[in-house]
Each structure stands twice: as structure tokens, then as C-alpha cells.
């Protein structure tokens, strides 16, 4: 990134251009030896407008090169008001991007395509829309997701049905040109039609004969809400859930994730969009908004639990280990663990005191008034993140957020954590595979410091390690080898 950053909250190791607005990751694909990550991008400002497709590629998920903008709206064309979300495939030596053609004079976003024969540097749009109109009975239609399965091309499109249900519509094709609509692949439960639900950005990962359908829940009144994972099996073009749907990420600042199948192995990678949790005026002053999460590995456990963990390649971002502490803490006095930078990777194993709460505090001001708390409530089986004091700037959002963990019935069971903090974003992973993404905006300068704390009458045992993170990890190349078309 720029050094020093224009805004101290600009992440150092998370993927985004140095300036301007970004949102959904799009078109995740492995092609010609590189991982390609596209994303919604406004090259002219920090607001959601004039949406293009920005483009990064990497040989290793660590060293990223920013390529020229891939897709731009065509004045007067079918995508005149934005090249919205979709995905991409690698086929016959070329990249094919499927995306939503946005115009403000229609409520649906038709599916169309563009092709690249030079690794994504230049693109040619198809002359006519691929799927110009939605099927009858839909009230929302956007965000294609295309994949190859059992010798056929398949596509899901995010939708809302007239009866109030969210839906992922299924299409199939033999040639990528002629698509037959097979109806809903899966839907939400029937809703009050006065408050319809819509599904955006459907994604589908297969694990043998089982699958995970990921959808981003949206309503006309509130817009983007949260991300839900549905686990189950498909039969005859219909997906049947075998467990209740669950939140994919328990934080307030995560939406529109996209999947990528890693090459030559049965591994699914996932990126999400983490939006700003501060007033728009502040983002406009800073000149940027939005960030992509670090890549995660998505797995489906034998018991049907959807699990996530940071991609294994991210270990290469670690520099020197700056902290390694083992001990215990009582409620009479917090334990000072040591200083940390504003971009670090922490692992911890806590054995919580069941008579109270236990956890870690990241202190970001000299007087301790500004801090982010990560707390385990062993009795309730819940990890809580409190950002109520995480910024002394009143333009930052506050709030307390929680995710479950499974140790509630076993006092004395250690709980494993991995926390990656990058200036204004924290991705908090439980060893059980749950994750919570949160944005926060400290005003205090680094180095920050960590504490272990407990409120119980006994004590909490802890082991913690912290590594500073560096944009290029063990590589010498810069994170962005070239800036492409960044305005």
C-alpha cells in the first residue's frame, strides 16, 4: 500500500486498491498459474457509484498485482449504470466473466458476459445480453454464479419470488451460450410479502455428495443484512437442506462472499466484503471505503458444520514473533501480555474460568480508555466482541457481537483462537471453525498492547503468541507490483 498511508486505518495486508470505493468480490478464478480476484470498484471516489470490476492477481495468495480495470460501464449500453456482481470461469485458455448488467430504468439485472484472451488484461463484451429477462414470478434478479459439474455448465442467479421467498434460480447449459431455466434450486421459508426477502450473490461448494449453498440475505427496506450457509444435498436440480441455516460470519461487517476452487486439490477458498463501520463523511475524507477479507478455507465437517479458517498461505505474511506468553490471570489484576503493532496475527489458547468471563483486551490508547474486548462466557458458550470503547472518535460505530462455541458443557476445556488485526479490521476465528469479522477505528497510535483479563473467582490459563504481519510476507516483491488504472 502507500507508505505512510493517507489514512492510518487503511489496511496493510487485506486486499483493496489504495483509494476509492470497493464492495463485493467477484469472478474468483484460478487461471494460467494465477489466482484472480475481481471486485466491485468505483475508480472515481469513495462512494457506491459507477461500478466497475477491479482486478488483482497472485501466484501464491501473498504477492498481489493490481491489473487494469477489467469491466467498465458502456455509456448507453445494457450495463450503462454499472457492471455489477457475478463470477468468472477459466475455459479453453480464456477467461469468461459472467456479470449483472445494471441500468436504473429496470428492476432486474440481466446476465451478460465478457471474455479475455490475455489473462484478464483486456476484455471484450458480448454484443447481446446472455439472459435478458428473468422468469415470471420474480421480483429481484441478479448475481450469476457459474460452475462445471457432471459434464454440464450450471448457473445460480440470486432472486426474490413474488410470494416473499428468497431464491437461487438454477440454469444449465451445454455450450455456455444457451441456458435453460430449471426453476428454484433452493428457497427460503415463505415470508410476509409485505417484507420480502431476497438472496444476493449465491455461491455453491460441493463436498462429495454434500453441498453448501451460501447466500447474502437482502430486503428492500434494509438492503444487505447478513450471510447464510445452507447445508444439504442436491437431487434432480433441487437442493434439500439437511440442517437449519446458519450465519456464515457472526460479525456486523461481512457480506457478499465469493468462492474459488483451489487448483489440483479439493479445497475451497472464500473472500468476503467488509464494509465501513464509520460515517460516510469520514470515509469520503479518507478517500476510500470497503476492504476484502483475507482468504479463508471453507470446509464441511462430518457432522454437517460449516467451518472456516485463514488460508494456510497466510502464514507467509508473518514476520518476527513479538510476543509469547504463558500463565494465568485472576480478576484482581489483568496481566499485561506486551506491545503489538497495528497489523498482527495472534494465536491464543484460553482455559476460561467457568465462574465468570475471560478474554483478551486490545488497548489502543496510552491511558487505556480506548480498547477492543474479546471475551469468552464459558457458561453461555459464547464469544463476545465489544467495540463500544474501540474508538474515541464518535463517527465510528459501536456495538457488541457474539458467536457460539461448543465448550459450554465441559468446564476446563481450552478454547483456541486466532485473531488477525489489520489497522481497522479484525477477523476473529475460533478453532471450531466459527468466525466474526468486525471493523473498528482506533485513534491511538501503535504500538498497542494486549491484556489477559477475567471476572471469575478462580483463574484463567492462557498461552498467546503474536507475529507482526508484513505486506509481502517472506517475499521481497511489493504487495502491488503496479497500480493499473487506479484514478
- Listing DSSP states for 159-198 in one string gives EEETTS-EEEEEEEESSSS--EEEEEEEEPPP--TTS--E
CA atoms within 13 A on the CB side of 412: 0
Which of 7, 24, 79, 422 does the annotation list as catalytic? 24
What is the β-pairing status of strands 223-235 and 400-404?
unpaired
∠ CA 92-97-102, rounded to 5°: 160
The SS3 assignment for 311 reads: coil
Q: In this structure, what are the phi and psi dihedrals at residue 58, rounded to the nearest 5 degrees?
A: -155, 140
Do residues 378 and 358 lie in contact, with contact meaning Cβ atoms separated by under 8 Å? yes
Q: What is the DSSP letter of 239?
A: E
Q: How far is CA 214 from CA 201, 299, 360, in A?
A: 8, 13, 31
Cα separation, 283 vs 289, whole angstroms: 6
> If phi over 0 gives left and psi between -120 and 50 gives alpha, with beta otherwise, what is residue 119?
left
- Written as one string, the DSSP assignment of 349-406 is EEE--TTSEEEEEEE-STTS-SEEEEEEETTTTEEEEE-TTS-SSTTB---EEEEE-T
Measured CA distances, 487 to 44, 286, 292, 483 (Å): 6, 15, 19, 9
Burial (0-12, 13-18, 19+ Cβ within 10 Å), 195? exposed
Active-site residue, 24 included: yes
> CA-CA distance, 354 to 410, in Å (whole number)?
9
Cβ neighbours for 175, distance < 8 A, ≥ 6 positions apart: 153
**Residues annotated as part of the active site:** 24
Amino acid at each position: 500500500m502507500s507508505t505512510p498511508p493517507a489514512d492510518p486505518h487503511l489496511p496493510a495486508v487485506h486486499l483493496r486498491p489504495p483509494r476509492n470505493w470497493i464492495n463485493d468480490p467477484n469472478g474468483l478464478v484460478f487461471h494460467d498459474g494465477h489466482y484472480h480476484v475481481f471486485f466491485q470498484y468505483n475508480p472515481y471516489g469513495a462512494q457506491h457509484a459507477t461500478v466497475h470490476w477491479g482486478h488483482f492477481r497472485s501466484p501464491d495468495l501473498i504477492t498481489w498485482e493490481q491489473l487494469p480495470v477489467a469491466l467498465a460501464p458502456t455509456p448507453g449500453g445494457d450495463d450503462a449504470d454499472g457492471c455489477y456482481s457475478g463470477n468468472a470461469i477459466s475455459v479453453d485458455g480464456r477467461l469468461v466473466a459472467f456479470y449483472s448488467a445494471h441500468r436504473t430504468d429496470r428492476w432486474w439485472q440481466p446476465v451478460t458476459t465478457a471474455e479475455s484472451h490475455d489473462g484478464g488484461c483486456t476484455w471484450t463484451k458480448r454484443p447481446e445480453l446472455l439472459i435478458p429477462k428473468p422468469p415470471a414470478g420474480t421480483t429481484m434478479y441478479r448475481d450469476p454464479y457459474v460452475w462445471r459439474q457432471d459434464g454440464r455448465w450450471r448457473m445460480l442467479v440470486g432472486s426474490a419470488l413474488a410470494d416473499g421467498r428468497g431464491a437461487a434460480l438454477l440454469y444449465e447449459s451445454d455450450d455456455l451460450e444457451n441456458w435453460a431455466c430449471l426453476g428454484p434450486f433452493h428457497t427460503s421459508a415463505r415470508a410476509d410479502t409485505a417484507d420480502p426477502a431476497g438472496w444476493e450473490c449465491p455461491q455453491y461448494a460441493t463436498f462429495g455428495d454434500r453441498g453448501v449453498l451460501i447466500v447474502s440475505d437482502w430486503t428492500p427496506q434494509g438492503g444487505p443484512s447478513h450471510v447464510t450457509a445452507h447445508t444439504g444435498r442436491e437431487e434432480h436440480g433441487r437442493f434439500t437442506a439437511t440442517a437449519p441455516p446458519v450465519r456464515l460470519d457472526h460479525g456486523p461487517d461481512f457480506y457478499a462472499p465469493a468462492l474459488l476452487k483451489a487448483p489440483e486439490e479439493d479445497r475451497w477458498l472464500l473472500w468476503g466484503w467488509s464494509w465501513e463501520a464509520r460515517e460516510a463523511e469520514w470515509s469520503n475524507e479518507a478517500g476510500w471505503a470497503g476492504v476484502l477479507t483475507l482468504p479463508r478455507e471453507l470446509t464441511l465437517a462430518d457432522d454437517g458444520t460449516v467451518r472456516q479458517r485463514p488460508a494456510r498461505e497466510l502464514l507467509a505474511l508473518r514476520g518476527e514473533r513479538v510476543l509469547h506468553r504463558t500463565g494465568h490471570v485472576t480478576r484482581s489484576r489483568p496481566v499485561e501480555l506486551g506491545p503489538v503493532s497495528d497489523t498482527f496475527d495472534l494465536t491464543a489458547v484460553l482455559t476460561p474460568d467457568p465462574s465468570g468471563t475471560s478474554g483478551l483486551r486490545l488497548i489502543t490508547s496510552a491511558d487505556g480508555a480506548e480498547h477492543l474486548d474479546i471475551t469468552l462466557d464459558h457458561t453461555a458458550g459464547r464469544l463476545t466482541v465489544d467495540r463500544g470503547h474501540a474508538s474515541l472518535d464518535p463517527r465510528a460505530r459501536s456495538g457488541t457481537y457474539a458467536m457460539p462455541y461448543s465448550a459450554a458443557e465441559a468446564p476446563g476445556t481450552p478454547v483456541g483462537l486466532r485473531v488477525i488485526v489489520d489497522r481497522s479490521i479484525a477477523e476473529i476465528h475460533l478453532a471450531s471453525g466459527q468466525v466474526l469479522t468486525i471493523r473498528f477505528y482506533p485513534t491511538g497510535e501503535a504500538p498497542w498492547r494486549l491484556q489477559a483479563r477475567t471476572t471469575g473467582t478462580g483463574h484463567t490459563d492462557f498461552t498467546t503468541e503474536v507475529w507482526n504481519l508484513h505486506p509481502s510476507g517472506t517475499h521481497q516483491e511489493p504487495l502491488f507490483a503496479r497500480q493499473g488504472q487506479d484514478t
